[in-house]
Amino acid sequence: MVTNLALLGAGRIGKVHAKAIAEDKRAKLVAVADAFADAANAIAETSGCAVRTIDEIEADQSIHAVVICTPTNTHADLIERFARAGKAIFCEKPIDLDVARAAACVEAVKKTGAKVMLGFNRRFDPHFRAVRQAIDDGKIGKVEMVTITSRDPGPPPAEYVKVSGGIFRDMTIHDFDMARFLLGEEVVSVMATASVLVDPKIGELGDYDSASLILTTASGRQCVISNSRRASYGYDQRIEVHGSLGSVSAENQRPVSIEIATKDGYTRPPLHDFFMTRYTAAYAAEISAFIDALEKGTAPSPSAEDGLIALTLADAAVQSVQKGAAVRVSI
Amino acid sequence: MVTNLALLGAGRIGKVHAKAIAEDKRAKLVAVADAFADAANAIAETSGCAVRTIDEIEADQSIHAVVICTPTNTHADLIERFARAGKAIFCEKPIDLDVARAAACVEAVKKTGAKVMLGFNRRFDPHFRAVRQAIDDGKIGKVEMVTITSRDPGPPPAEYVKVSGGIFRDMTIHDFDMARFLLGEEVVSVMATASVLVDPKIGELGDYDSASLILTTASGRQCVISNSRRASYGYDQRIEVHGSLGSVSAENQRPVSIEIATKDGYTRPPLHDFFMTRYTAAYAAEISAFIDALEKGTAPSPSAEDGLIALTLADAAVQSVQKGAAVRVSI
Amino acid sequence: MVTNLALLGAGRIGKVHAKAIAEDKRAKLVAVADAFADAANAIAETSGCAVRTIDEIEADQSIHAVVICTPTNTHADLIERFARAGKAIFCEKPIDLDVARAAACVEAVKKTGAKVMLGFNRRFDPHFRAVRQAIDDGKIGKVEMVTITSRDPGPPPAEYVKVSGGIFRDMTIHDFDMARFLLGEEVVSVMATASVLVDPKIGELGDYDSASLILTTASGRQCVISNSRRASYGYDQRIEVHGSLGSVSAENQRPVSIEIATKDGYTRPPLHDFFMTRYTAAYAAEISAFIDALEKGTAPSPSAEDGLIALTLADAAVQSVQKGAAVRVSI
Amino acid sequence: MVTNLALLGAGRIGKVHAKAIAEDKRAKLVAVADAFADAANAIAETSGCAVRTIDEIEADQSIHAVVICTPTNTHADLIERFARAGKAIFCEKPIDLDVARAAACVEAVKKTGAKVMLGFNRRFDPHFRAVRQAIDDGKIGKVEMVTITSRDPGPPPAEYVKVSGGIFRDMTIHDFDMARFLLGEEVVSVMATASVLVDPKIGELGDYDSASLILTTASGRQCVISNSRRASYGYDQRIEVHGSLGSVSAENQRPVSIEIATKDGYTRPPLHDFFMTRYTAAYAAEISAFIDALEKGTAPSPSAEDGLIALTLADAAVQSVQKGAAVRVSI
């Protein structure tokens, strides 16, 4: 049976998901909705699906699932609405910037029994998955210390910063999820330091552009996260996991991997400079995993709960910076 | 205007090209032909094109170009036929295993003025292109020495070896073309050594599985090629160009680039183990370049002549091994 | 003029320094003292110097400087004594495990005007120096974030742990000094987490074997330190400095740098497994820098004050772990 | 018992060997001879040995061995003379530039039974030794193809070229020896191409500055050598051995191994730019191996015969270039 999907939100990331659906034979994109007709039409034309309203999609019994790519502040409402409508849901992260609202949404979803998957795309990066696989295969023994380096190519515009929820809820949230994906135990404590080193405007908006964090689990496993809103050399995305028998790491990715040697040294090109080219394979794989779960009737992962936990860790980080102390988290 | 394409041959490589055409908005796959109905039907279903006979395709004025992926021994005939029919042609390498037949085909094509592009896919690998770009940008000064390492993951079956034309016409032919792509001058001399180190059956068929070659240009530039039919660690495909101001190289590619460190050392996974996964991007880019040339009315490259020259170098290599001496080539 | 040096302590590290002195033409090792006659004799024989008592060395006006490699608990006394005797002093780190005693020693030395250099050997590692040089040359712009990974090949024996002063004063102390060497600003705050993941015996002795730290400077620069007492793959010593214009890093060192590719992947050998082979060049360079400073009459660096500051940061780390909060430091 | 050594020739390489002897407790440098008194005195002063004439050294029964670092044209005579005098001999390569003279010398030595070791230092490079060890350990199975890349940082002065014997006897000779060290079988055929791409003056002197070679063994194993007299990025010295089960390679070495990442990419420093810094460890290890052989009474390796064979291969390369054909060698 082919899974019929509708896309809510026809922006940049919506297009990526539409393409991924088109390449998966087990699914069919049957409808797209967007406040901007042009955006919806563009995807409809490419993929051969219909432009519909959200109401029409909600009412259409032949649509099994929705992919939510609308603005963040609509996520929780849409998740609840389509959960009640009996559809499976893939939603871009985060559920909401407010942890109480997100928790309420998770609670509401639970009552419906709807399947919800949250778009932590990095879990599907082939390199990071291979790191996790190496851990699962016992290659490095017991996990002890995780190191995540995550730096954006450049700072976001002020308009974005204002609605982003701050660096921890917007940027580090991916790293919180990755930490959980790799630590093998829940985080019980968050220590964070943050400052404004890159762009004073970010500071004027009450946010930070540089942050260092230490997460700890109950048994004492540690995770260090290093974030910056600027990396001249591209989109810096590295993880390393140190264990009792060894270490496994995923290095940065670049579009071309040549090396030029001259009297000035050996030079390789900069990294990917955009998250969508860096994580192309991850975006395709996450939609495939969603379709897979629907087809097999299993619970899609990462779940809405995973989204809520990452947000809780972000809130703890905000508090930790303010208090200059570790903040306990109970998950 | 959209370019209408027909696919001749619906095998493994035909599918790859069908997919590439589907992703290029400037073109449309309108027909597919194959002696095996199942193969043709499979592509027709996925891409939404019609299954047609070669005769029908030839006669259809709305079809602008054909992509030839049929067995090697049909290439020259099909090229000539479709050139006369006024269609542009993309043909998998080689034109023919016999240099005289290939030369006659090139001659025949020339008279028709048809546009013919030959499928030397490696020219379109993003890493190798970046090497060429670095040369063109003057990063390494004047080219002096090219080194090509090209090793298959494992030896081909005897059935394949029998009809392959031998290692130089089947395998090294890609390296001959790459050498010309990078040397910046035509080859005037070929020295080759070959032996059977991998699989005695290959020797029984009169072929070799291990070869080393030196190509020289008129001004004395040199190219060294190292071929083997076996590399336990995957599909080994490296190039390096040494020039007056420096050197540029493209390293091997692997599906995942993690590294595991244990008491036994630091280990990265093996390379791609299949030419189609190694050169995925190259296959897409070459079809895109073909469509691009048709759209702009420029000559597609590499041309049928390029195919003929590579074959001429392969013949010279065969002779060089037999004579134990350098063989002069005039191109 | 040749600088005459005496060596106090003829153990493992004493031998290393004796060798470094022997290779520097500007200096001459004229005396060695050790409680164990055999140890002193061995160095005397190799280097051609005399075995003397500490009293004799103190009284000998022709001896310009001493190199102190005795047990830690003798350092402060010996430094004060030889400072009063008007000799220049190179002393292995730390001055003392007690910050008050170390501060008193620094104070006492100041009154004598004696030249004292502390053996933070890593500042003289050629790779780490090159990192610092790149910063000084403006290659990465303004320093923003420093990352130090420092892991021992294996946990120390219980006997050593007991007298070590704990992981922060024994192991991290090198990283505190390296952080200051690279941050370009003094540290004002220390946040630390520590646990026992490697060896329960270390926990029974009240110490930790795994630690993560965040240091912050007044302007908000951050340094993350990751420590473990075990790394199966060798002595893991990496630094990375991220700045406004880029990043500079020093990778791990291994005795041989071959790579073996097989069906299981590409494997490079483990790292150095011992600090003395890892830092061979650094040990030679630090003695050379000491002799250089004496010859030129400049202040040797790192100084006794640098040793005191590193110890102060270690104390802050201990407190931070106990309090679960950042500890302010005023230096 | 300590081995007493005398050094003949106190130039650049003589100093290197004097230092290596000084660091080996099993040996003692007791005399040095050089036509230039200053050079001899400098070494005598540093090492504490006496300046003697060659006659005196020859006559001194307490001297067990000589290390010959005099100009090439004196090697054969000195080897014969000291072999007759009953001393063990370490001689810098080559025995002579003339293969007949070298053969006569080897013959003469054989009659005396003297122990002669030839200074093919690269066999003692720790990285290359590790490559050989990996082969001996069966890590790559049966050796099939060897690739040697050997490029000097810059072309030698005309004065040197004139007396060098040409690129094959001067530069490739090291690679011939390395090929034999790694191939595991004797070379039976040499194919070479050479040209003048770097410096026309080298061509005017009848020599080449760029060369590519293919060596073959009886069972069909192949070795490719790539030589250039110029590499802007430093002293380029790589080897790779491909076998039935895998491949092993030794990469280039650099003085410092940092990496700087900026908007222009990731840059590592150039390589060593001088053979004496590149092969520091190799020079020390080869003298140590010589002393070791004398102490144990075993035959030192590489031998004078190894030197003769490498020279024979160089002669074959010269002929191959002239004839444009493979040249058979019987060793």
Buried b (16+ CB within 10 A) or exposed e, B22-38: bebeebbbbbbbbeeee
Residue A74 and residue A294 in contact, taking contact as beta carbons nearer than 8 Å? no
Residue ranges and CATH numbers for the domains of chain B are: 3-119 (3.40.50.720), 123-282+310-328 (3.30.360.10)
For chain A, list the contacting chains (3+ Cβ pairs, <8 Å): B, C, D
Q: Do D261 and A269 touch (CB under 8 A)?
A: no
Query: Is residue A195 predicted with pLDDT exceeding 90?
Result: yes
The CA distance from B51 to B42, in Å, is 10
Q: Given CB atoms, is A48 within the 8 Å cutoff of chain B?
A: no
- Which SS3 state, helix, strand or coil, does residue B303 take? strand
pLDDT tens figures, C110-148: 999 999 999 999 999 999 999 999 999 999 999 999 999
pLDDT tens figures, A136-161: 999 999 999 999 999 999 999 999 99
- Closest Cα of chain B to A172: distance in Å? 22
- Which SS3 state, helix, strand or coil, does residue C139 take? coil
Query: What pLDDT is attached to residue D7?
Result: 98
Query: Is residue C101 predicted with pLDDT exceeding 90?
Result: yes
When the pLDDT of each residue in chain C is averaged and rounded to a whole number, the result is: 97
Per DSSP, what are the bridge partners of residue D225? Answer: D148, D213
Q: Do B324 and D324 touch (CB under 8 A)?
A: no
Name the CA radius of gyration of chain A, rounded: 20
Q: Are strands B50-51 and B65-68 parallel, antiparallel or unpaired?
A: unpaired
Q: Given CB atoms, is C266 within the 8 Å cutoff of chain B?
A: yes
Q: How would you list the strands of the sheet with D27-33, edge to edge?
A: D50-51, D27-33, D3-8, D65-68, D88-92, D116-119
The CA distance from D313 to D215, in Å, is 9
Confidence at A20, pLDDT banded by 50, 70, 90: very high
User: Residues of A with CB below 8 A from C191's CB?
Assistant: 191, 193, 214, 326
- In which residue are the tokens 């030192």 written? D300
The CA distance from D217 to D185, in Å, is 6
The CA distance from D34 to A256, in Å, is 55
Chain centroid to CA C137: how far? Answer: 25
The CA distance from C205 to C209, in Å, is 11
The CA distance from D272 to D8, in Å, is 28
User: Residues of B with CB below 8 A from A255's CB?
Assistant: 126
Q: Do A262 and B139 touch (CB under 8 A)?
A: yes
Q: Do C212 and A214 touch (CB under 8 A)?
A: yes
Query: Is residue A239 predicted with pLDDT exceeding 90?
Result: yes
Query: What pLDDT is attached to residue C107?
Result: 97
Per DSSP, what are the bridge partners of residue C262? Answer: C265, D246
User: Residues of A with CB below 8 A from B250's CB?
Assistant: 257-258
Per DSSP, what are the bridge partners of residue C249? Answer: C240, D259
Q: Given CB atoms, is C264 within the 8 Å cutoff of chain B?
A: yes
Query: What pLDDT is attached to residue C261?
Result: 98
User: Residues of D with CB below 8 A from C255's CB?
Assistant: 126
Query: What pLDDT is attached to residue A46?
Result: 86
- Closest Cα of chain B to D218: distance in Å? 10
Q: Do B249 and A269 touch (CB under 8 A)?
A: no
Query: Is residue C1 predicted with pLDDT exceeding 90?
Result: no
User: Residues of A with CB below 8 A from B246's CB?
Assistant: 260-263
- Closest Cα of chain D to C65: distance in Å? 23
Q: Given CB atoms, is C220 within the 8 Å cutoff of chain A?
A: yes
For chain B, list the contacting chains (3+ Cβ pairs, <8 Å): A, C, D
- Closest Cα of chain B to A204: distance in Å? 39
User: Residues of C with CB below 8 A from A246's CB?
Assistant: 232-233
At residue C150, what are phi and psi to the nearest 5 degrees? -140, 110
Q: Do C270 and B265 touch (CB under 8 A)?
A: yes
Sign of CA dihedral D227, D233, D235, D238: negative
- Closest Cα of chain B to A207: distance in Å? 34
The CA distance from B18 to C13, in Å, is 69
Size of interface C-D (CB pairs under 8 A): 76
- Closest Cα of chain A to D231: distance in Å? 8
- ω into residue D302 within 30 of 0, thus cis? yes
pLDDT tens figures, C155-173: 999 999 999 999 999 999 9
Closest to B226 measured CA to CA, from B255, B201, B193: B193
Among candidates D232, D262, D266 on the partner chain, residue whose Cβ is nearest the Cβ of A262: D232
Largest pairwise CA distance in chain A:
67
Per DSSP, what are the bridge partners of residue C124? Answer: none
> Chain D: residue nearest C247 by CA?
D261
- Closest Cα of chain D to C213: distance in Å? 24
Among candidates D253, D256, D263 on the partner chain, residue whose Cβ is nearest the Cβ of C126: D256
Q: Do D233 and A269 touch (CB under 8 A)?
A: no
User: Residues of C with CB below 8 A from B269's CB?
Assistant: 265-266
The torsion defined by the Cα of D46, D49, D51 and D57, in degrees rounded to 10, comes to -140
Which secondary structure element, helix H or strand E, spans residue C52, and what is its range? none
Query: What pLDDT is attached to residue D1?
Result: 74
> Chain A: residue nearest D271 by CA?
A265
Query: What pLDDT is attached to residue C37?
Result: 95
Query: What pLDDT is attached to residue B286?
Result: 97
Tell me which of C151, C235, C266, C272 to substitute to probe the interface with B (most B C-beta atoms closer than 10 Å): C266
Query: What pLDDT is attached to residue B46?
Result: 86
| Non-local CB neighbours of B287 within 8 Å, separated by 6+ positions | B17, B20, B21, B24, B67, B90
Q: How would you list the strands of the sheet with C88-92, edge to edge?
A: C50-51, C27-33, C3-8, C65-68, C88-92, C116-119
Q: Do D233 and A263 touch (CB under 8 A)?
A: yes
Query: What pLDDT is attached to residue D283?
Result: 96
Query: What pLDDT is attached to residue C282?
Result: 97
Q: Given CB atoms, is D324 within the 8 Å cutoff of chain B?
A: yes
Query: Is residue D23 predicted with pLDDT exceeding 90?
Result: no
Q: Given CB atoms, is A325 within the 8 Å cutoff of chain C?
A: yes
Would you state the structure tokens that stand for residue D134, as one six-digit string? 């990996």
pLDDT tens figures, C203-242: 999 999 999 999 999 999 999 999 999 999 999 999 999 9
Which secondary structure element, helix H or strand E, spans residue C84, and what is its range? helix C75-84
Query: What pLDDT is attached to residue C23?
Result: 87
User: Residues of D with CB below 8 A from A264's CB?
Assistant: 267, 270
Q: Which residues of chain B have pLDDT under 50?
A: none
The CA distance from A69 to A79, in Å, is 11
Average pLDDT value for residue range D254-267: 97
- Which SS3 state, helix, strand or coil, does residue C182 take? helix
* 3-class SS shares of chain B: helix, strand, coil, % to 5: 40, 25, 30
Confidence at A200, pLDDT banded by 50, 70, 90: very high
User: Residues of D with CB below 8 A from B252's CB?
Assistant: none
Query: Is residue A112 predicted with pLDDT exceeding 80?
Result: yes
Which secondary structure element, helix H or strand E, spans residue C35, and what is its range? none
The CA distance from A190 to A246, in Å, is 25
Confidence at D138, pLDDT banded by 50, 70, 90: very high
Confidence at A331, pLDDT banded by 50, 70, 90: confident
Largest pairwise CA distance in chain B:
67
Average pLDDT value for residue range C7-18: 96
Average pLDDT value for residue range D234-242: 98
Residues 234-263 of A with CB under 8 A from B: 245-251, 253, 255-263
C-alpha distance from residue A278 to each of A249, A281, B122 (Å): 17, 8, 23
- Which SS3 state, helix, strand or coil, does residue A293 take? helix
Q: Given CB atoms, is D266 within the 8 Å cutoff of chain A?
A: yes
**Cβ–Cβ contacts within 10 Å for residue B152, how many?**
22
**Cβ–Cβ contacts within 10 Å for residue C42, how many?**
18
The CA distance from B77 to B96, in Å, is 9
pLDDT tens figures, C125-135: 999 999 999 99
Confidence at D202, pLDDT banded by 50, 70, 90: very high
Q: Do B232 and C262 touch (CB under 8 A)?
A: yes
Residues 143-182 of C with CB under 8 A from B: none
Confidence at A1, pLDDT banded by 50, 70, 90: confident
Average pLDDT value for residue range A259-280: 96
The CA distance from B241 to B249, in Å, is 6
Query: What pLDDT is attached to residue C44?
Result: 95
When the pLDDT of each residue in chain B is averaged and rounded to a whole number, the result is: 97
Among candidates A231, A232, A265 on the partner chain, residue whose Cβ is nearest the Cβ of D267: A265
Q: Are strands C3-8 and A246-250 parallel, antiparallel or unpaired?
A: unpaired
Sign of CA dihedral D118, D120, D126, D127: negative
